[in-house]
Amino acid sequence: MPQLINILVIGDVIGKAGRRALTEHLPRLIDQHHIDFTVANGENLAAGFGLTEKTADEMFSLGVDVLTNGNHCWDQREFLQLIDKDERFTRPMNFSARAPGQGWTVRETPSGHRIAVLNLIGQVFMGAWDCPFAAASRAMQEIPDDVSAILVDMHAEATSEKMGMSWHLDGQASFVYGTHTHVPTCDEIIHASGTAYQTDIGMTGSYQSIIGMKVESALARMVDKLPRRFEAVERGATIFATKVQVDSATRKAVHIERIRILPG
């Protein structure tokens, strides 16, 4: 009988609203779904912009095993030092080679399964980063052979680029998923190779907003074309996450399902 690992992936967690929702629901969610390993994108934890030691510790205390990042990775200056002190953090592997931190990490479940988490960032509409496809190929060579699953957070704007990454890593990664757009997609699939894919997990934050930010400031910036300070909505978050079951012997995904928890 295959030994299945239940993995929970949480998309971009937006500020206080997202953290409150996870405080209320994540421990129960982990118990209910018999989750062995949890990963979340943490680049928006601190009021929507970057993360701090305090906000990260909140997530770790709730059962999150790894926090991935994206283009807001360095918005909080303290994280420049923090990321080198803790292997539970990743930043996109195709950032500058001079950036602190690491592009992938391996953490162990309570039952002893080693899970690799790789973090990448897209180039389309995102900036002049190094090639994520070359970085992904390099990571596949570097990640130890004894891992039981490989998860890939592709933090990108373009759906085509995210889909391209899933095919680039087809048969190598257990789950390739997108973050960044803050909008969940319903295209979850398991390729014939056993690689699961979803274009965007979606944010854990308030959907009475513009991608987690207060409507007034975000809309005014669009209409007036003038600089406005974005402010994260602080209450009423919906949790979006995806559960994937992986066969530890083959690293292949055998089941995928989206999870949504509405505000109470």
Supply the pLDDT for residue 45.
97
What is d(CA 42, CA 30) in angstroms, rounded to the nearest whole number? 18
The total number of residues shown for the chain amounts to: 264
CA 191 to CA 205: how far, in whole Å? 29
CATH number at residue 85: 3.60.21.10
What does the alpha-carbon distance between residue 135 and residue 133 come to, in Å, rounded to a whole number? 5
Whole-number pLDDT of residue 227? 87
Using CA atoms, how far apart are residues 11 and 204, in angstroms rounded to an integer?
6
Segment 220-226 long-range contacts (CB within 8 Å, at least 24 positions apart): none
What are the tokens at 7?
């993995």
CA 56, CA 248: separation in Å to the nearest integer?
28
Contact 67, 44 (CB under 8 A): no
Q: Which residues in the chain come in under a pLDDT of 70?
A: 1-2
User: Tokens for 179?
Assistant: 């973050």
Location of structure tokens 């997990």:
201
Per the annotation, the verdict on 72 as an active-site residue is yes
Interatomic CA distance for residues 254 and 174, integer angstroms: 9
Per-residue pLDDT, 2: 64
Q: Is the sign of the CA dihedral 32, 34, 36, 40 positive or negative?
A: negative
pTM here? 0.96
Domain with 57, as residue range(s), is 4-261
Whole-angstrom Cα distance, residue 70 to residue 108? 23
Positive/negative CA dihedral, 29, 198, 173, 124: negative
State pLDDT tens for residues 50-89: 999 999 999 999 999 999 999 999 999 999 999 999 999 9
State how many domains the chain has. Answer: 1
Burial letters for 135-144: b for 16+ Cβ neighbours within 10 Å, e otherwise? bbeebbeebe
DSSP state of 13: B
User: Residue 37: which of 121, 137, 105, 138 has the closest Cα?
Assistant: 105
pLDDT the model gives residue 228: 87
Rounded to 10 degrees, the C-alpha dihedral 234/178/175/149 comes to: -60
Considering 25, 33, 34, 72, which one is annotated as catalytic? 72
Q: In terms of DSSP H, where are the helices of 175-258?
A: 215-224
